[in-house]
Amino acid sequence: MQVDYIIVGQGIAGTMLSWHLLKAGQTVLVVDAPKENSASLVAAGVINPVSGRRLELGWLYETFYTYAAGCYRDMEQQLQSSFFTERDIWMVMPSEQLRTAFRERLPQFPALLKGYEPDAAKYAPWLDQPFGAGVVGGATVQLNALIPAWKQRLKDSGILLDERLDPANLIETTDGVTYRNVQARRVIFCEGAAVGAHPWFSGLRWLPSKGEVLMVRIPGFETADIIKRSITLVPQGGDLYWAGATFAWTDPDELPTPAQRDKLEEGLRQLLKVPYEVVGQLAAIRPSLQERRPVMGMLPDRPSIGIFNGMGTKGSSLAPYMAAHFTTHLEENVPLLKEVDIKEYFKK
């Protein structure tokens, strides 16, 4: 078998890169082993334009979001599936300081910050909201629908190898790489946190973080809005919610822990006035770097080996545009943004 690209990993990064390369007329083989607790499948897929105590607009957010929304709608049509939903984020104000910051930001981002609700009457019976709430325009991507749908399309097309790539079987050649019986011009690693174990990328400043979430039922409470305070509730249908997430940088395994469950439940108790039931707990390792930016490109000294990774907590908003950007770089030699170019790491 001969292809242009071997894509290693099919989380949100590998999904988007393989989608864009195929759209560009390239041939691909995706190598991916099933893993129920991958970061992409555990994530809620929230797209939130603002973050931090100062409610700052995300890096190039308007560019990224405009492209991502169009890309997801295109994929929905092609895959005959539904997974992208624009929805409001009901941001419960935990303090006077954040309430003041939100109201000051309102005139700066009128298309994204939709208003402030001082009495927060909409959810008064269910939520503790002593400082009111702000309404932010956001979205969710149901990654546990998108990723399996794209995996099935790859499988049906005969371009999915259902295994974890063994680096011992990857051989560099004068005109690319071979893996088992497959020849390719390039191999690109999109394996999330696992990519840091490969010797080619161990020198990058990885800062993986473990995240844990709860699945909870809140009887009688049903909404299409995302609810955010110290904890975020993302609707899953009916009275079921994704509730998360935690951050831990010193816990390397992917097992749920009692300590993080306690922390999440503390957040639920601060937010909710009504009872809830925990029906599940999940954990995964997020791929991120100290620079808090994605990384992509071919290695300077190994031009057939590349990376597309490090989406962190922003994968749903970043990955579509970044995959398109990387594809034009690979096929049209368009320069990469300096902030994400792997060559910048070799200058430091």
pLDDT tens digits, residue range 223-262?
999 999 999 999 999 999 999 999 888 777 889 999 999 9
pLDDT at position 306 is 97
Tens digits of residue pLDDT in 190-199: 998 788 778 8
pLDDT at position 165 is 92
Tens digits of residue pLDDT in 181-191: 999 999 999 99
pLDDT at position 348 is 56
Is the predicted pLDDT of residue 346 greater than 80, yes or no?
no
Residues 228 and 319: their CA atoms lie apart, in Å, by 23
Per-residue pLDDT, averaged over 214-223, amounts to 98
What architecture does CATH give domain 87-138+207-286? 2-Layer Sandwich (3.30)
- Number of H helices and number of E strands within the chain? 7, 19
pLDDT at position 317 is 96
Residues 311 and 289: their CA atoms lie apart, in Å, by 9
Average pLDDT over the chain, rounded to an integer: 93
Class for the domain spanning 2-42+144-206+290-347: alpha beta
Amino acid in position 165: L
Residue showing tokens 């371009």: 159
Tens digits of residue pLDDT in 254-307: 899 999 999 999 999 999 999 999 999 999 998 887 777 899 999 998 999 999
Per-residue pLDDT, averaged over 195-204, amounts to 79
Tens digits of residue pLDDT in 58-108: 999 999 999 999 999 999 999 999 999 999 999 999 999 999 999 999 999
User: Are 14 and 190 in contact, with CB atoms under 8 Å apart?
Assistant: yes
- Split at pLDDT 50, 70, 90, the class of 144 is very high
pTM of the model: 0.94
Sequence spans of domains, the chain: 2-42+144-206+290-347, 87-138+207-286
In the chain, pLDDT over 90 holds for what percent of residues?
80
Tens digits of residue pLDDT in 157-170: 999 999 999 999 99
The residue among 134, 124, 136, 138 whose CA lies nearest residue 272 is: 124
